[in-house]
A and B are shown apart, each in its own frame.
Chain A
Amino acid sequence: MIRIEARNAPPRALTLGVPILSALVALALASIPLAFAGADISTAYAEMAKGVFGSKFAFSEMLTRATPLIFTGLAAALAFRAKLWNIGAEGQLYLGAMAAVAIGSGAVDAPAFVLVPLIVVFGAAAGAAGMAVPTVLKTRFGADEVVTTLLLNFVILIFVQMMLEGALKDPMSLGWPQSSPILDQGMLPQLMDRMRIHSGLIMALVAAGIAQFMLARSVWGFRLRAVGENAAAARHAGIRVNRSLMSVAIVSGGLAGLAGVSEVAGLKGYLTADLSPGFGYTGIVVAMLAGLSPVGVVISALFIASVFVGADSMSRAMGVSSYLADLVVSMSLLCVLIGGFFARFRIVRSKVGVA
């Protein structure tokens, strides 16, 4: 007879161990589709590792890829801590990128030390506004934010496409739907010569540090956690639940907006409708894998970026489809969800059955 029993308190080793184990299991499971694709498995893993750690350039590529994931991962982690289900980081990312391009591509002519902060602030504000709207709909009218934020992603993406054909369109683009480039002095400083890695990474790491600190040490973080864990008790204790939700919505949307700013002003230079290969959605996986901890988000973003970059490079070297990366990322989310179950419950064997 096997029964499932709730644990009183998940042991610390498990809360840390489960995400790591899930990541490893997901990587190991990737060998199945690899085998089906006819690749030599050990070579494939070696190629994957080489694609991330094989050279300074490879490593910097991984960090570049991790940068937007840290931002969107933080956006999801903070909102989810308050049980505000922001599925709209993808849309908020595009809003941030759009604001960055609108300000930075010539509308404001200012030196770098003015223009860069301006772009960052407006980008964050645009993302924040993108999350504030569904939050008002939730607190005022009870509209489920899962639905509204998810659907707004598509609305925003279509709006971006419209703008790229209209107001933001680059007249020099030979008809391609892309925006005018951000002025040189509006671009985020590069971190290394001849590499794509940029100071957006520093911003992301600082944001993670601040988020971690605020969550644990500030009254704001206290309220956010209380609202997320038990909104009824928080309200009873005099915490203004709606106000707390709105504040976390603004921060969450702002962080997602920064992901867009950092991609467009740190990397691409101009906006296209394929700026993000789903960074907003992957951010949710990053946050879940991190157990909604800001510092954990950094680590899991690095892991997921490694999987993407490594799988990319492996697929190029071995002729295997790079969709494998998506597969590993999805599987690690599933493994975390299953692993989370084992962290909260334990399996007990007992002999007693029918008397």
Chain B
Amino acid sequence: MENPKILSLNALSKRFGSVVANDAVSLDLHRGEVLALLGENGAGKTTLMNMLFGHYLPDSGSVEVLQDGVMTPLQLGHPQAALAAGIGMVHQHFTLALNLTTFDNVVLGSEPLFSWRRNRAAARAKLLAIMEQSGLVAPLDTPVGQLSVGERQRVEILKALYRDARILVLDEPTAVLTPQEADTLFENVATMTQNGLAVIFISHKLREVLAFSNRIAVLRHGQKVGEIATKDADERVIARMMVGADTPVTARETMSPGTPMLTLKDVSVQGQSKRDSLSRASFSVHSHEILGIAGVSGNGQSALAGLVSGLMRPDRGTVSVGGTEISRPNPLTMITAGVGRIPEDRHHDGIVGAMTVAENMVIERLNDADIQTRGLLNRDAIQANADRLTKDYDVRGPGSDAAARLLSGGNIQKLILARVFDQTPRLILANQPTRGLDMGAAAEVGRRLLEARKRGAGVLLISEDLDEILGLADRIMVIHDGQLSELTTRDREEIGLSMAGEHA
């Protein structure tokens, strides 16, 4: 590296209770460099960046930032100190005031609190100069609430640059973008680094990391397991670093689809926002078939999932399961019709964290004769059920009589899989089933879905992860703005364009 070092993290460690989130992680960053921080979910990437930015106080270790030509220790645990040292962070979830304009959002917090008048003209000139230099363009006087997700992200970056950030941390910046929007983002990043900005970019997508970074650091279980110049890396090498082994390949056999298991006819749902609206959707999921729904999050997936899981009712059109129309859709009628539901937010909708693992395993079938006799729970049957399912589905944790929230994310998902698959559902709704899971647990989910498909179930797979859909689905539909459209192609580029609504 010919460029000078601008930031170094020295042996940062952080524990949460008994979990070691970061174990003596050291990193260096140079001027004008894009460093990709790669790792599975839960590997400790976000924790590390939160320590850098002062949100968390490390248990041990230090951070040094180049200031006036000298490496100066950064006061830890104080976001203000990080800001002053020129560290800017763009979080996965934006921190913008939706009712304010772009301009106001950018200057918010950087103006003196006690001052007679705002020097808006100077601030505006500075912001325009930054936009010019970086190539980041966003309408200045439009309320942020009216901007697209990609534009909002640009506002977040502008906010950091406006505060004279020399080090920019992007936490999973492409998670909410279409492939095309992501490309624009990376072009902008390239321009900014030419001007001397250093970027740390957190991701778990190998493809974009390989395409856009200079150097890759890989975290696994809170430890830095490798660092490699991007030009020397390929997908296999990095994947092996991330999981410590080669990526498991899911084998899938070809099958001919059977009778329709789920049919939506001209279904519309008018939700409170665009997020939970669906307009005139018609499609079927057949037996022996996995239908993948691709799309950028917030385009009507939650309406579709709500409909199939029984939480939402159609305003028009009909929903049929296994050829029978569901006249009064609610979670109970959907369960009895043979729909297994894997919810998107497993902590919020999937489990009752304070209740035991065994109880969570029977929560969907409290009316079954083997679970209750005249209103009283059959504790032996519940225990036997739990013993069987924990064994068959390899649910690991402190035991079946422990609170379900004590399980790890992957094991919570296994609990839900066990509960769903054990009932041999005709139709399975899998909504973002591998989000937040490590590769091993994600592969397990894929295997179970393929197994159900083989058995004759239909699977409706909603996912933002295009690789997951390409790997599992027999047919692919794209959802954009509440509209579903069937795709004949499996070409990434084409799918990306549809996700952005170009072909709709």
Contact = CB atoms under 8 A, between A and B. Distances in A.
Contacts of B310: 238
Given A6-B17, A219-B372, A355 B353 contact: no
A239 interface: yes
A354 B62 CA distance: 8
B17 A8 contact: yes
A190 interface: no
Interface in A231-278: 232-240
Contact of B309 (A226, A229, A230, A236): A236
Given A5-B17, A219-B376, A226-B363, A234 B352 contact: yes
Contact of A230 (B10, B63, B351, B364): B351
B331 interface: yes
B355 interface: yes
Contact of A355 (B62, B351, B355): B62
Given A219-B375, A219-B377, A239-B366, A230 B354 contact: yes
A308 to B, nearest CB: 33
Given A232-B348, A350-B59, A354-B75, A222 B359 contact: yes
A233 B348 contact: yes
B354 A222 contact: no
A220 B375 contact: yes
Interface in B76-135: 76-77
B343 interface: yes
A229 B354 contact: yes
A239 B17 CA distance: 34
A276 B316 CA distance: 55
Contacts of B16: 5
Given A8-B18, A350-B59, A355-B62, A233 B352 contact: yes
B182 interface: no
B76 A230 contact: no
Contact of A236 (B311, B376, B379): B311
A222 B375 CA distance: 10
Contacts of B18: 8
A223 interface: yes
A352 B60 contact: yes
A321 interface: no
Contact of B349 (A217, A226, A236): A236
A352 B10 CA distance: 14
B500 to A, nearest CB: 31
Interface string A41-74: 0000000000000000000000000000000000
Contacts of B406: 8-9
A225 B355 CA distance: 8
Contacts of B377: 217-219, 222
B259 to A, nearest CB: 25
A236 B343 contact: yes
Interface in B238-278: none
Size category, A interface: 20 to 34
A9 B348 CA distance: 19
B355 A223 contact: no
Interface residues of B, number: 47
Interface in B48-74: 57-63, 73-74
Contacts of B355: 225-226, 229
A355 B372 contact: no
A223 B17 CA distance: 31
Which of A8, A217, A219, A233 has its CB near the most chain B CB atoms (within 10 A)? A233
Contacts of B311: 235-236
B332 interface: yes
B237 to A, nearest CB: 34
Contacts of A220: 375
B371 to A, nearest CB: 8
B375 A230 contact: no
A9 B403 contact: yes
B381 to A, nearest CB: 13
Interface string A196-238: 0000000000000000000001111011011001101111111
A355 B331 contact: no
Nearest to B74: A355
A6 B17 CA distance: 7
Nearest to B63: A355
A217 B354 CA distance: 16
A223 B366 contact: yes
Contact of A240 (B59, B332, B350): B332
Contacts of A223: 366
Interface string A1-35: 00101111100000000000000000000000000
Contacts of A352: 57-60
Nearest to A223: B366
A225 B309 CA distance: 22
Contact of B376 (A217, A230, A234): A217
Interface in A295-339: none
B341 interface: yes
A107 B58 CA distance: 74
Nearest to B351: A233
Nearest to A216: B377
B335 interface: yes
Interface in B332-373: 332, 334-335, 341, 343, 348-355, 359, 363-364, 366, 371-372
Which of B16, B63, B363, B379 has its CB near the most chain A CB atoms (within 10 A)? B363
A225 B366 CA distance: 13
23 contacts: A6-B17, A8-B17, A8-B18, A217-B376, A217-B377, A219-B366, A220-B375, A222-B363, A223-B366, A225-B352, A225-B355, A230-B348, A230-B353, A233-B349, A233-B352, A234-B352, A235-B311, A235-B331, A236-B343, A236-B350, A238-B335, A352-B59, A355-B61
Interface of B: 10, 16-18, 57-63, 73-77, 309-311, 330-332, 334-335, 341, 343, 348-355, 359, 363-364, 366, 371-372, 375-377, 379, 402-403, 406
Given A9-B402, A230-B354, A238-B366, 11 more contacts: A3-B57, A5-B17, A7-B17, A219-B372, A233-B352, A234-B352, A235-B311, A237-B331, A239-B363, A352-B58, A355-B63
For the complex of A and B, 7 pairs with smallest distance between CB atoms: A355-B62, A238-B332, A229-B354, A238-B331, A230-B352, A237-B363, A236-B349
